[in-house]
Amino acid sequence: MNTNREGRLQATALVTGAGTGIGRALSFALANLGINVLGVGRREHLLQETRDAFPDLIHILVADLATEEGRRAVIAAEAAKNGFGLVVHNAATLQPVAPLLEIDHQAWIEHMAINVHAPLFLTQLVVPHMVRGGRILNISSGAAHNAYRGWGAYCTSKAALHMIYQVLKEELADRELMIGSARPGVVDTPMQAEVRTASPEIFPDLQRFLDLKDDGNLQTPAHVAKFLTWLLLDVDDEKFTHKEWDVRDAAHHEYWDRH
């Protein structure tokens, strides 16, 4: 069953980290279907570039979602008045890249505020404003399930986000709201460019990511956005929330990956 697909189409889609990469591509994909998008980020000039592609459908908000003030600004936005049909927690940071035994305490706190606190406490605020059958999607990572030396903060925060998805899946079951989780693979985004600047002494797995770029094996944001749009709009309710989805799983490609 795909509950209230039409309601999700008519309500606003909230996309965090909408200024670049996956967030920008997903905003474009949803707007291309006629969906009103509220794109949130911290850098105004990048958000404006996102809005310029669909000025009548993409609305932007400059806000720091790691803060209570930033999260409340989302609820107060004009584009939020129709309610939310889709909420995509995409914004994240990789920094600090450092061994756990050397990581700075304040940098750790700031990282968790962006990658864990922001999606959790923004969800608390938006749930009362979501339409029946609305869907929340956490953008996950292989780092939630695999340890990378130097990525202790990122691995920990993505693992925490995965557990938030699992707990909310149970807690939202009686509210006619669904939460899902999706791994986009290794995507050609500004974060990946940042990954490739790391020192191999701090990040010993660097060469793998350099090779993915050099060999042309990075996912494109547009390809990932097509996958996420299918998940958000067309997958059966139970399947959407049942497991963490992975863009690289060929079993579902025939349903959305048509050229």
Active-site residues, by number, are: 154, 158
Please give the single-letter amino acid code of residue 11. Answer: A
Q: Which tokens in the block code for residue 19?
A: 């200024």
CA-nearest of 113, 105, 51, 86 to 178 is 86
Token code pair at residue 160: 């925490």
Letter string b/e over residues 240-258, b meaning 16 or more CB atoms within 10 A of that residue's CB: bbeeebbbeeeebeeebee
Are residues 29 and 58 in contact, defined by beta-carbon separation less than 8 angstroms?
A: no
Dihedrals phi, psi of 224, to nearest 5 degrees:
-65, -40
Q: What gap in Å lies between CA 234 and CA 257, rounded to an integer?
A: 13
